[in-house]
Structure 1
Amino acid sequence: MSSDADLDRIIDAATRLFAELGFDGTTLRLIADGAGVDPATVDRLTGGKTELYRQVMRRATDAEKKAVGGAANGFTPTRQGVERLLDQYVDFYSAHPEYLGLWLHRRTGDAADTADLEEVYVRPRLGGIVEALREVVPGDVDLDLTVWTIPWVISGFLSQRALGTRVDEETDTSGPYRNISPDELERFRNHLHMLLQRMLMLPDAPDG
Protein backbone atom coordinates (compact mmCIF):
# COMPACT_ATOMS: atom_id res chain seq x y z
CA MET A 1 0.00 0.00 0.00
CA SER A 2 1.36 3.43 -0.96
CA SER A 3 2.03 6.21 1.52
CA ASP A 4 -0.59 8.37 -0.22
CA ALA A 5 -3.24 5.67 0.23
CA ASP A 6 -2.24 5.23 3.87
CA LEU A 7 -2.47 8.98 4.44
CA ASP A 8 -5.94 9.15 2.87
CA ARG A 9 -7.16 6.36 5.15
CA ILE A 10 -5.57 8.04 8.16
CA ILE A 11 -7.27 11.37 7.41
CA ASP A 12 -10.62 9.61 6.84
CA ALA A 13 -10.31 7.75 10.15
CA ALA A 14 -9.19 10.86 12.00
CA THR A 15 -12.09 12.86 10.60
CA ARG A 16 -14.62 10.32 11.87
CA LEU A 17 -12.99 10.06 15.28
CA PHE A 18 -12.42 13.78 15.80
CA ALA A 19 -16.07 14.37 14.85
CA GLU A 20 -17.35 11.74 17.27
CA LEU A 21 -14.91 11.99 20.18
CA GLY A 22 -13.24 15.35 19.69
CA PHE A 23 -9.53 16.01 19.32
CA ASP A 24 -8.92 15.67 23.05
CA GLY A 25 -10.75 12.34 23.24
CA THR A 26 -8.96 10.75 20.30
CA THR A 27 -5.59 9.01 20.54
CA LEU A 28 -3.12 8.13 17.81
CA ARG A 29 -3.80 4.49 18.62
CA LEU A 30 -7.50 4.91 17.85
CA ILE A 31 -6.69 6.66 14.58
CA ALA A 32 -4.15 4.00 13.64
CA ASP A 33 -6.61 1.19 14.37
CA GLY A 34 -9.30 2.93 12.33
CA ALA A 35 -6.93 3.34 9.38
CA GLY A 36 -5.42 -0.14 9.60
CA VAL A 37 -1.88 1.06 10.27
CA ASP A 38 0.36 1.37 13.32
CA PRO A 39 0.72 4.57 15.41
CA ALA A 40 4.28 5.10 14.16
CA THR A 41 2.98 5.29 10.59
CA VAL A 42 0.38 7.86 11.60
CA ASP A 43 3.05 9.97 13.27
CA ARG A 44 5.47 9.62 10.36
CA LEU A 45 2.97 10.50 7.62
CA THR A 46 1.18 13.33 9.42
CA GLY A 47 3.70 14.90 11.78
CA GLY A 48 1.68 14.04 14.88
CA LYS A 49 -1.86 14.39 16.15
CA THR A 50 -2.05 18.18 16.13
CA GLU A 51 -0.76 18.48 12.57
CA LEU A 52 -3.13 15.71 11.50
CA TYR A 53 -6.01 17.62 13.07
CA ARG A 54 -5.02 20.70 11.07
CA GLN A 55 -5.04 18.60 7.90
CA VAL A 56 -8.52 17.32 8.76
CA MET A 57 -9.85 20.83 9.36
CA ARG A 58 -8.21 22.08 6.18
CA ARG A 59 -9.85 19.31 4.16
CA ALA A 60 -13.23 20.01 5.79
CA THR A 61 -12.94 23.69 4.95
CA ASP A 62 -11.87 22.96 1.38
CA ALA A 63 -14.89 20.68 0.95
CA GLU A 64 -17.21 23.40 2.25
CA LYS A 65 -15.66 26.00 -0.06
CA LYS A 66 -16.16 23.70 -3.04
CA ALA A 67 -19.79 23.02 -2.10
CA VAL A 68 -20.81 26.64 -1.53
CA GLY A 69 -18.29 28.29 -3.81
CA GLY A 70 -20.77 29.16 -6.53
CA ALA A 71 -23.08 31.01 -4.17
CA ALA A 72 -20.24 32.59 -2.18
CA ASN A 73 -18.09 33.75 -5.09
CA GLY A 74 -21.02 35.20 -6.99
CA PHE A 75 -22.76 36.47 -3.87
CA THR A 76 -25.12 39.40 -4.30
CA PRO A 77 -26.61 41.33 -1.34
CA THR A 78 -30.19 40.43 -2.26
CA ARG A 79 -32.82 38.14 -0.81
CA GLN A 80 -32.12 35.59 -3.53
CA GLY A 81 -28.36 35.78 -3.01
CA VAL A 82 -28.67 35.11 0.71
CA GLU A 83 -31.17 32.29 0.22
CA ARG A 84 -28.94 30.58 -2.33
CA LEU A 85 -25.97 30.73 0.03
CA LEU A 86 -28.05 29.46 2.94
CA ASP A 87 -29.43 26.58 0.91
CA GLN A 88 -26.00 25.39 -0.18
CA TYR A 89 -24.65 25.70 3.36
CA VAL A 90 -27.57 23.67 4.77
CA ASP A 91 -27.26 21.05 2.03
CA PHE A 92 -23.54 20.63 2.65
CA TYR A 93 -23.69 20.15 6.40
CA SER A 94 -26.81 17.97 6.34
CA ALA A 95 -24.96 15.68 3.91
CA HIS A 96 -21.68 15.77 5.89
CA PRO A 97 -22.42 15.50 9.62
CA GLU A 98 -18.80 14.53 10.25
CA TYR A 99 -17.68 18.03 9.28
CA LEU A 100 -20.41 19.54 11.43
CA GLY A 101 -19.15 17.45 14.34
CA LEU A 102 -15.65 18.88 14.02
CA TRP A 103 -16.91 22.44 14.50
CA LEU A 104 -19.32 21.50 17.28
CA HIS A 105 -16.49 20.02 19.33
CA ARG A 106 -14.49 23.23 18.89
CA ARG A 107 -17.28 25.17 20.58
CA THR A 108 -16.67 23.16 23.75
CA GLY A 109 -13.01 24.19 23.88
CA ASP A 110 -11.75 21.08 22.09
CA ALA A 111 -8.31 21.29 20.47
CA ALA A 112 -7.45 24.46 22.39
CA ASP A 113 -3.95 24.53 20.91
CA THR A 114 -5.46 25.26 17.48
CA ALA A 115 -7.51 28.31 18.42
CA ASP A 116 -6.25 30.10 15.33
CA LEU A 117 -8.34 27.99 12.95
CA GLU A 118 -11.43 30.18 13.28
CA GLU A 119 -9.36 33.21 12.35
CA VAL A 120 -7.87 31.39 9.38
CA TYR A 121 -10.97 29.69 7.98
CA VAL A 122 -14.19 31.12 9.41
CA ARG A 123 -13.89 34.83 10.10
CA PRO A 124 -12.59 35.84 6.65
CA ARG A 125 -15.49 34.05 4.93
CA LEU A 126 -18.21 35.45 7.16
CA GLY A 127 -16.52 38.84 7.23
CA GLY A 128 -16.76 39.03 3.45
CA ILE A 129 -20.50 38.41 3.59
CA VAL A 130 -20.93 41.07 6.26
CA GLU A 131 -19.17 43.67 4.14
CA ALA A 132 -21.20 42.76 1.06
CA LEU A 133 -24.44 43.24 2.99
CA ARG A 134 -23.52 46.39 4.88
CA GLU A 135 -24.71 48.87 2.25
CA VAL A 136 -28.20 47.38 1.91
CA VAL A 137 -29.07 46.41 5.50
CA PRO A 138 -30.75 48.90 7.89
CA GLY A 139 -28.26 50.63 10.17
CA ASP A 140 -29.90 49.43 13.40
CA VAL A 141 -29.14 45.78 12.54
CA ASP A 142 -26.06 44.29 14.24
CA LEU A 143 -24.83 42.72 11.03
CA ASP A 144 -21.91 40.82 12.53
CA LEU A 145 -24.08 39.00 15.06
CA THR A 146 -26.85 38.47 12.53
CA VAL A 147 -24.53 36.72 10.07
CA TRP A 148 -22.91 34.66 12.83
CA THR A 149 -26.39 33.63 13.98
CA ILE A 150 -26.81 31.54 10.84
CA PRO A 151 -24.07 28.91 11.41
CA TRP A 152 -25.09 28.76 15.07
CA VAL A 153 -28.71 28.03 14.15
CA ILE A 154 -27.84 25.57 11.38
CA SER A 155 -25.44 23.55 13.54
CA GLY A 156 -27.92 23.52 16.41
CA PHE A 157 -30.74 22.25 14.22
CA LEU A 158 -28.69 19.59 12.48
CA SER A 159 -27.23 18.24 15.72
CA GLN A 160 -30.31 18.29 17.95
CA ARG A 161 -33.86 17.05 17.60
CA ALA A 162 -36.22 19.72 16.32
CA LEU A 163 -39.32 20.67 18.27
CA GLY A 164 -42.10 18.20 17.52
CA THR A 165 -39.83 15.51 16.04
CA ARG A 166 -40.41 12.07 17.51
CA VAL A 167 -37.54 9.68 18.09
CA ASP A 168 -39.46 6.73 16.63
CA GLU A 169 -40.03 8.61 13.36
CA GLU A 170 -36.33 9.06 12.63
CA THR A 171 -34.34 6.77 10.38
CA ASP A 172 -31.45 4.82 11.86
CA THR A 173 -28.03 6.40 11.90
CA SER A 174 -24.68 4.82 12.65
CA GLY A 175 -23.06 8.04 13.83
CA PRO A 176 -23.60 10.48 16.70
CA TYR A 177 -25.81 12.83 14.66
CA ARG A 178 -29.39 12.14 13.71
CA ASN A 179 -30.72 11.72 10.21
CA ILE A 180 -33.14 14.42 9.08
CA SER A 181 -36.02 13.75 6.74
CA PRO A 182 -36.35 15.76 3.50
CA ASP A 183 -39.62 17.26 4.77
CA GLU A 184 -38.03 18.36 8.04
CA LEU A 185 -35.05 19.84 6.21
CA GLU A 186 -37.33 21.75 3.85
CA ARG A 187 -39.31 23.11 6.79
CA PHE A 188 -36.09 24.32 8.38
CA ARG A 189 -34.87 25.83 5.11
CA ASN A 190 -38.08 27.84 4.75
CA HIS A 191 -37.77 29.00 8.34
CA LEU A 192 -34.22 30.22 7.71
CA HIS A 193 -35.34 32.17 4.65
CA MET A 194 -38.07 33.87 6.66
CA LEU A 195 -35.76 34.54 9.60
CA LEU A 196 -33.07 36.21 7.49
CA GLN A 197 -35.51 38.26 5.48
CA ARG A 198 -37.17 39.63 8.61
CA MET A 199 -33.84 40.43 10.22
CA LEU A 200 -32.15 41.93 7.16
CA MET A 201 -35.05 43.21 5.01
CA LEU A 202 -33.05 42.60 1.85
CA PRO A 203 -34.07 43.83 -1.59
CA ASP A 204 -35.03 41.40 -4.35
CA ALA A 205 -32.60 40.86 -7.20
CA PRO A 206 -33.35 42.98 -10.28
CA ASP A 207 -35.42 41.23 -12.95
CA GLY A 208 -33.40 39.75 -15.75
Structure 2
Amino acid sequence: MDMLSKRRTPIQAASHERILRIATRLFAEHGYHGVSAREIAAATGLNIATVHYHTGGKRELYMQILRSLYQEEQAWVTGVLDHVGADVVKDAQALKSVLGELLDTLIELLQRDLTRPRLYMRRWLEERDELTPFEAELSIAVYKPLYELLAQAQQVGTIRADLDLNVFLRSFYWMLYGYFVTGPVDWTAWWGDPNNRENLQAFKAYLHMYLITMLGLAPTA
Protein backbone atom coordinates (compact mmCIF):
# COMPACT_ATOMS: atom_id res chain seq x y z
CA MET A 1 0.00 0.00 0.00
CA ASP A 2 1.41 3.43 -0.97
CA MET A 3 1.56 6.43 1.35
CA LEU A 4 -1.22 8.24 -0.53
CA SER A 5 -3.63 5.33 -0.09
CA LYS A 6 -2.91 5.35 3.65
CA ARG A 7 -3.96 9.01 3.86
CA ARG A 8 -7.23 8.63 1.93
CA THR A 9 -10.49 9.07 3.78
CA PRO A 10 -13.16 6.37 3.24
CA ILE A 11 -14.95 8.65 0.76
CA GLN A 12 -11.73 9.34 -1.14
CA ALA A 13 -10.87 5.64 -1.18
CA ALA A 14 -14.32 4.83 -2.57
CA SER A 15 -13.89 7.45 -5.32
CA HIS A 16 -10.46 6.07 -6.18
CA GLU A 17 -11.76 2.51 -6.44
CA ARG A 18 -14.69 3.69 -8.55
CA ILE A 19 -12.32 5.43 -10.97
CA LEU A 20 -10.12 2.34 -11.24
CA ARG A 21 -13.07 0.02 -11.82
CA ILE A 22 -14.74 2.15 -14.49
CA ALA A 23 -11.47 3.09 -16.20
CA THR A 24 -10.50 -0.58 -16.40
CA ARG A 25 -13.77 -1.35 -18.18
CA LEU A 26 -13.34 1.57 -20.59
CA PHE A 27 -9.74 0.66 -21.40
CA ALA A 28 -10.81 -2.95 -21.98
CA GLU A 29 -13.57 -1.82 -24.34
CA HIS A 30 -11.73 0.92 -26.25
CA GLY A 31 -8.00 0.51 -25.60
CA TYR A 32 -5.58 2.94 -24.00
CA HIS A 33 -5.60 5.29 -26.97
CA GLY A 34 -9.35 4.99 -27.51
CA VAL A 35 -10.53 6.71 -24.35
CA SER A 36 -9.70 10.12 -22.91
CA ALA A 37 -9.39 11.34 -19.34
CA ARG A 38 -12.53 13.43 -19.84
CA GLU A 39 -14.48 10.37 -20.96
CA ILE A 40 -13.30 8.48 -17.89
CA ALA A 41 -14.35 11.38 -15.67
CA ALA A 42 -17.77 11.54 -17.33
CA ALA A 43 -18.31 7.81 -16.89
CA THR A 44 -17.45 8.00 -13.20
CA GLY A 45 -19.68 11.02 -12.61
CA LEU A 46 -16.71 13.00 -11.29
CA ASN A 47 -15.08 16.10 -12.70
CA ILE A 48 -11.74 15.75 -14.42
CA ALA A 49 -9.91 17.61 -11.65
CA THR A 50 -11.08 15.00 -9.15
CA VAL A 51 -9.93 12.18 -11.41
CA HIS A 52 -6.51 13.81 -11.78
CA TYR A 53 -6.31 14.30 -8.02
CA HIS A 54 -6.92 10.62 -7.36
CA THR A 55 -4.90 9.12 -10.22
CA GLY A 56 -2.51 11.72 -11.61
CA GLY A 57 -3.83 11.59 -15.18
CA LYS A 58 -4.70 8.98 -17.81
CA ARG A 59 -1.19 7.57 -18.20
CA GLU A 60 -0.68 7.17 -14.47
CA LEU A 61 -4.17 5.72 -14.10
CA TYR A 62 -3.50 3.12 -16.79
CA MET A 63 -0.20 2.21 -15.15
CA GLN A 64 -1.96 1.75 -11.80
CA ILE A 65 -4.47 -0.57 -13.43
CA LEU A 66 -1.82 -2.63 -15.23
CA ARG A 67 0.31 -2.90 -12.10
CA SER A 68 -2.65 -4.04 -10.03
CA LEU A 69 -3.78 -6.64 -12.58
CA TYR A 70 -0.35 -8.12 -13.20
CA GLN A 71 0.62 -8.17 -9.54
CA GLU A 72 -2.59 -9.98 -8.67
CA GLU A 73 -1.98 -12.53 -11.42
CA GLN A 74 1.63 -12.94 -10.31
CA ALA A 75 0.44 -13.72 -6.78
CA TRP A 76 -1.88 -16.44 -8.12
CA VAL A 77 0.87 -17.95 -10.27
CA THR A 78 3.52 -17.93 -7.55
CA GLY A 79 0.96 -19.38 -5.16
CA VAL A 80 1.09 -22.52 -7.29
CA LEU A 81 4.73 -22.55 -8.39
CA ASP A 82 6.51 -21.40 -5.23
CA HIS A 83 5.91 -24.71 -3.44
CA VAL A 84 7.09 -26.84 -6.38
CA GLY A 85 10.10 -28.96 -5.48
CA ALA A 86 13.21 -29.20 -7.62
CA ASP A 87 12.49 -32.83 -8.55
CA VAL A 88 9.16 -32.01 -10.21
CA VAL A 89 10.90 -31.20 -13.49
CA LYS A 90 12.26 -34.77 -13.59
CA ASP A 91 8.88 -36.44 -13.03
CA ALA A 92 6.39 -36.28 -15.92
CA GLN A 93 3.37 -37.11 -13.77
CA ALA A 94 4.29 -34.58 -11.09
CA LEU A 95 4.88 -31.92 -13.75
CA LYS A 96 1.51 -32.66 -15.35
CA SER A 97 -0.13 -32.24 -11.95
CA VAL A 98 1.53 -28.87 -11.35
CA LEU A 99 0.65 -27.59 -14.82
CA GLY A 100 -2.94 -28.76 -14.39
CA GLU A 101 -3.19 -26.91 -11.08
CA LEU A 102 -1.72 -23.77 -12.62
CA LEU A 103 -4.12 -23.92 -15.55
CA ASP A 104 -7.12 -24.33 -13.27
CA THR A 105 -5.87 -21.43 -11.15
CA LEU A 106 -5.51 -19.11 -14.14
CA ILE A 107 -8.95 -20.04 -15.44
CA GLU A 108 -10.47 -19.35 -12.03
CA LEU A 109 -8.80 -15.93 -11.96
CA LEU A 110 -9.88 -14.96 -15.47
CA GLN A 111 -13.48 -16.04 -15.13
CA ARG A 112 -13.90 -13.81 -12.08
CA ASP A 113 -13.62 -10.64 -14.15
CA LEU A 114 -13.69 -10.67 -17.94
CA THR A 115 -12.30 -7.14 -18.19
CA ARG A 116 -8.82 -8.51 -17.43
CA PRO A 117 -8.41 -10.70 -20.55
CA ARG A 118 -10.21 -8.11 -22.68
CA LEU A 119 -7.86 -5.35 -21.56
CA TYR A 120 -4.79 -7.55 -22.06
CA MET A 121 -5.71 -8.66 -25.56
CA ARG A 122 -6.75 -5.21 -26.73
CA ARG A 123 -3.46 -3.89 -25.42
CA TRP A 124 -1.48 -6.60 -27.21
CA LEU A 125 -3.09 -5.58 -30.51
CA GLU A 126 -2.11 -1.93 -30.12
CA GLU A 127 1.07 -0.40 -31.49
CA ARG A 128 4.10 -0.21 -29.22
CA ASP A 129 4.30 3.06 -27.30
CA GLU A 130 5.91 4.65 -24.25
CA LEU A 131 4.07 2.24 -21.93
CA THR A 132 5.38 -0.91 -23.62
CA PRO A 133 8.60 -1.25 -21.53
CA PHE A 134 6.63 -0.77 -18.32
CA GLU A 135 4.07 -3.38 -19.33
CA ALA A 136 6.79 -5.78 -20.50
CA GLU A 137 8.47 -5.64 -17.10
CA LEU A 138 5.20 -6.48 -15.35
CA SER A 139 4.23 -9.29 -17.72
CA ILE A 140 7.67 -10.92 -17.70
CA ALA A 141 7.48 -11.15 -13.90
CA VAL A 142 4.24 -13.13 -14.30
CA TYR A 143 5.23 -15.46 -17.12
CA LYS A 144 8.93 -16.07 -16.43
CA PRO A 145 8.46 -18.56 -13.55
CA LEU A 146 6.49 -20.90 -15.82
CA TYR A 147 9.04 -20.49 -18.60
CA GLU A 148 11.88 -21.33 -16.23
CA LEU A 149 10.06 -24.40 -14.91
CA LEU A 150 9.50 -25.70 -18.44
CA ALA A 151 13.07 -24.85 -19.49
CA GLN A 152 14.41 -26.95 -16.62
CA ALA A 153 12.08 -29.81 -17.56
CA GLN A 154 13.25 -29.55 -21.14
CA GLN A 155 16.89 -29.58 -20.10
CA VAL A 156 16.52 -32.88 -18.22
CA GLY A 157 14.45 -34.48 -20.99
CA THR A 158 11.03 -34.54 -19.31
CA ILE A 159 9.36 -32.53 -22.06
CA ARG A 160 10.03 -32.32 -25.80
CA ALA A 161 13.46 -31.01 -26.69
CA ASP A 162 12.29 -29.66 -30.07
CA LEU A 163 9.58 -27.42 -28.64
CA ASP A 164 10.18 -23.66 -28.86
CA LEU A 165 9.03 -22.59 -25.40
CA ASN A 166 8.65 -18.94 -26.35
CA VAL A 167 6.25 -19.78 -29.18
CA PHE A 168 4.48 -22.38 -27.05
CA LEU A 169 3.84 -20.00 -24.15
CA ARG A 170 2.74 -17.17 -26.44
CA SER A 171 0.26 -19.51 -28.13
CA PHE A 172 -0.95 -20.86 -24.78
CA TYR A 173 -1.67 -17.42 -23.33
CA TRP A 174 -3.38 -16.20 -26.50
CA MET A 175 -5.71 -19.20 -26.39
CA LEU A 176 -6.32 -18.79 -22.66
CA TYR A 177 -7.12 -15.08 -22.73
CA GLY A 178 -8.82 -15.25 -26.13
CA TYR A 179 -11.35 -17.77 -24.88
CA PHE A 180 -12.51 -15.36 -22.18
CA VAL A 181 -12.85 -12.55 -24.71
CA THR A 182 -15.09 -14.35 -27.22
CA GLY A 183 -15.94 -17.70 -25.67
CA PRO A 184 -16.16 -20.75 -27.92
CA VAL A 185 -17.48 -20.51 -31.46
CA ASP A 186 -21.27 -20.49 -31.46
CA TRP A 187 -22.42 -21.36 -34.97
CA THR A 188 -25.64 -19.38 -34.55
CA ALA A 189 -24.33 -16.27 -32.77
CA TRP A 190 -20.56 -16.65 -33.44
CA TRP A 191 -19.55 -15.65 -29.90
CA GLY A 192 -20.38 -18.06 -27.08
CA ASP A 193 -20.59 -17.48 -23.34
CA PRO A 194 -17.14 -18.24 -21.83
CA ASN A 195 -18.60 -18.79 -18.36
CA ASN A 196 -21.28 -21.22 -19.50
CA ARG A 197 -20.55 -24.37 -17.50
CA GLU A 198 -20.47 -26.76 -20.46
CA ASN A 199 -18.38 -24.36 -22.55
CA LEU A 200 -15.91 -23.83 -19.72
CA GLN A 201 -15.52 -27.53 -18.98
CA ALA A 202 -14.92 -28.27 -22.67
CA PHE A 203 -12.33 -25.51 -22.89
CA LYS A 204 -10.51 -26.67 -19.76
CA ALA A 205 -10.39 -30.23 -21.08
CA TYR A 206 -9.05 -29.00 -24.41
CA LEU A 207 -6.38 -26.80 -22.85
CA HIS A 208 -5.25 -29.60 -20.54
CA MET A 209 -4.93 -31.86 -23.59
CA TYR A 210 -3.08 -29.14 -25.50
CA LEU A 211 -0.56 -28.71 -22.69
CA ILE A 212 0.33 -32.35 -22.23
CA THR A 213 0.34 -33.09 -25.96
CA MET A 214 2.49 -30.14 -26.99
CA LEU A 215 4.92 -30.74 -24.13
CA GLY A 216 5.17 -34.44 -24.92
CA LEU A 217 3.71 -35.50 -21.58
CA ALA A 218 0.85 -37.54 -23.05
CA PRO A 219 1.17 -41.31 -22.51
CA THR A 220 2.45 -43.16 -25.55
CA ALA A 221 0.43 -46.00 -27.06
Normalising by the residue count of structure 1, what TM-score does the alignment of the two structures yield? 0.83
CA distance in 2, matches of 1:168, 1:20: 19
Which residue does 1:185 correspond to in 2? 200
* Correspondence for 1:81 among 89, 98, 101: 98
Alignment length, in residue pairs? 197
Q: Percent identity?
A: 27
* Correspondence for 1:114 among 126, 131, 138: 131
Which residue does 1:160 correspond to in 2? 182
* Correspondence for 2:43 among 25, 29, 34: 34
Q: After superposition, what is the alpha-carbon deviation per residue over 1:3-59, rounded to whole angstroms, capped at 9, x for unaligned?
A: 222211111111111111111111112211222210011112211100000001111
Which residue does 1:64 correspond to in 2? 73
What amino acid is the match of 2:108?
A: D
What amino acid is the match of 1:197?
A: I
Structure having the higher helix fraction is 2
Residues 83/46 of structure 1: CA separation in 2 closer, same or farther (3 Å cut): same
**Alignment partner of 1:112: what SS?**
coil
Which residue does 2:118 correspond to in 1? 101
Unaligned runs of 5+ in 2: 1-9, 90-94, 154-158
**CA shift for structure 1 position 183:** 1.0
Unaligned runs of 5+ in 1: 171-177
CA distance in 1, matches of 2:37, 2:66: 17
Residues 103/168 of structure 1: CA separation in 2 closer, same or farther (3 Å cut): closer
Larger mean CA deviation between 139-148 and 62-71 belongs to 62-71
**CA shift for structure 1 position 86:** 0.9
Which residue does 2:152 correspond to in 1? 135
Larger mean CA deviation between 39-48 and 195-204 belongs to 195-204
Instruction: Tell me if the contact between 2:24 and 2:115 (Cα under 8 Å) persists in the aligned partners.
Output: yes
Q: After superposition, what is the alpha-carbon deviation per residue over 1:112-170, rounded to whole angstroms, capped at 9, x for unaligned?
A: 22101342111233222122122322221112211222111112222224235543996
Which residue does 2:4 correspond to in 1? none
**CA shift for structure 1 position 87:** 1.1
CA distance in 2, matches of 1:67, 1:43: 31
**Alignment partner of 1:134: what SS?**
helix
Instruction: Tell me if the contact between 1:24 and 1:110 (Cα under 8 Å) persists in the aligned partners.
Output: no
Normalising by the residue count of structure 2, what TM-score does the alignment of the two structures yield? 0.79
CA distance in 1, matches of 2:128, 2:112: 24
CA distance in 2, matches of 1:110, 1:10: 25
Residues 110/168 of structure 1: CA separation in 2 closer, same or farther (3 Å cut): closer
What amino acid is the match of 1:149?
A: S
CA distance in 1, matches of 2:28, 2:18: 15
Larger mean CA deviation between 145-154 and 72-81 belongs to 72-81
